[in-house]
Amino acid sequence: MLRRPHLVLSALALTSSLVLAACGSSSGGSDATASATATASAATSGVATNVVCSDLTIDDSSAALPSLAGEADTTPTPTWTGEAAPANLTVATLEEGDGPTVTEADFITVSYAGWKWDDNATFDSSYDRAAPTTFSLQGVITGWRCGLAGHKVGERVLMSVPSQYAYGDVATGGGAPTGPLVFVVEIKAVGSTADATVEGEQALADRGITVTGDLGSAASISVSPDAVEPTQTEVIVLARGTGAAITAEDTIGLHMAFTSWDGTVNQSSWEQASPQRVTMAQAPGLTGLIGVPVGSRVVVLMPAGTDSSSGEALPAMAYVLDIAAIL
């Protein structure tokens, strides 16, 4: 399921500042795939690209869908109807949920199993690994991104994904399954700062930094004209989450917005729908995040510096990060 390229944080920039860089990478443990290669592969295999979810017809039922049997927390056994796969992306709710609603920009934690249509053998199952999987919906096939958005944490759904919204009909290497696919998915959690406890407002005010945006929603950051530039990296926990503490070995998923100290450079992963992943071992400038729990909103202030590869001067920067998940 993990295939769709998305924006990632430049490892080079992390040594001195964070930027949004247009590199091709897949989340959830898949090998990185260059954007050009992915585009060419998609064209060859018949995979639809740059799909806008609101343009799709997504059905919520089909008589062609298989029935499932099996105990909880195990890979189900499908019984096929003998009918052809639905033409539309189809997402049937098997069990309701009452948690937060999933959006296309979220990091989500799920348990799942997948089959090729009319095939009893799974090609992938998190149940067999005895652990749920966490990933960004911007890093998966269109069928998952569009099919799970709008559903709630706690739901169990059965999805039929046409080949053009999965891996296509023609094998392109890498072992990805071809043709229409079926998945059962249990939505366990969505990465969010909504339940974090605010603690750093005064520290931000003292530094002349303003963060706007409710916890759990998009944030923005600004610097007052009289704020003193940092001379070293500063990490301020604005709101503390309750998840696992970040370690030096982790890869984390986050949303971010940043501004240069003079306000002339601004970007937001929320606005670009480009959730980020950071490998802590490759981010020496972010060691201050070690020990911070997942679910926190953090402000990082970085001093002016010089790009080690180009020699270009880099301005002081201010970032707001929502730590959504450990991947």
Domain boundary among 171, 190, 209: 190
Average pLDDT, the chain: 86
> Looking at residue 200, what is its pLDDT?
96
Q: What per-residue string of b and e applies to 283-305 under the rule 16 or more CB within 10 Å gives b?
A: bebbebbeebebbbbbbbbbbbb
pLDDT surpasses 90 at 76: yes
Residue 43 — pLDDT band, cuts 50, 70, 90?
low
pLDDT surpasses 80 at 91: yes
Task: Please indicate, yes or no, if residue 8 is contained in any of the structural domains.
Answer: no
Q: Do 69 and 183 lie in a common domain?
A: yes
Q: Do 118 and 227 lie in a common domain?
A: no
Task: Please indicate, yes or no, if residue 177 is contained in any of the structural domains.
Answer: yes
> Looking at residue 24, what is its pLDDT?
28
Q: Do 227 and 246 lie in a common domain?
A: yes
Q: Do 141 and 161 lie in a common domain?
A: yes
> Looking at residue 44, what is its pLDDT?
56
Pick the most confident of 13-27, 257-271, 289-303, 310-324.
289-303
Mean pLDDT of 185-193: 95
Task: Please indicate, yes or no, if residue 202 is contained in any of the structural domains.
Answer: yes
CATH number of the CATH domain containing 231: 3.10.50.40
Answer with the residue of higher pLDDT: 12 or 216.
216
Least confident range of 36-40, 74-78, 101-105, 161-165: 36-40
Mean pLDDT of 282-288: 88
Task: Please indicate, yes or no, if residue 211 is contained in any of the structural domains.
Answer: yes
Q: Do 279 and 215 lie in a common domain?
A: yes
Q: Do 303 and 322 lie in a common domain?
A: yes
Q: Do 136 and 268 lie in a common domain?
A: no
Mean pLDDT of 275-281: 91
Q: Do 313 and 238 lie in a common domain?
A: yes
Task: Please indicate, yes or no, if residue 31 is contained in any of the structural domains.
Answer: no
Q: Do 231 and 148 lie in a common domain?
A: no
Q: Do 206 and 130 lie in a common domain?
A: no
> How many structural domains are present in the chain?
2
Residue 311 — pLDDT band, cuts 50, 70, 90?
confident
Mean pLDDT of 190-209: 96
pLDDT in tens, 291-309: 999 999 999 999 998 877 7
- The answer to whether the pTM exceeds 0.85 is no
Q: Do 172 and 241 lie in a common domain?
A: no
> Looking at residue 31, what is its pLDDT?
35
Task: Please indicate, yes or no, if residue 232 is contained in any of the structural domains.
Answer: yes
Mean pLDDT of 105-114: 95
Task: Please indicate, yes or no, if residue 172 is contained in any of the structural domains.
Answer: yes
> Looking at residue 175, what is its pLDDT?
82
Residue 313 — pLDDT band, cuts 50, 70, 90?
confident
Domain boundary among 190, 219, 250: 190
Q: Do 308 and 274 lie in a common domain?
A: yes
Task: Please indicate, yes or no, if residue 5 is contained in any of the structural domains.
Answer: no
Which residue pairs from 32-38 have beta carbons closer than 8 angstroms and sit at least 24 positions apart in sequence?
A: 33/3, 33/5, 34/5, 35/5, 38/3, 38/4, 38/5
> Looking at residue 219, what is its pLDDT?
97
Domain boundary among 190, 214, 235: 190
List the domain range (segments joined by +) for residue 65: 48-190
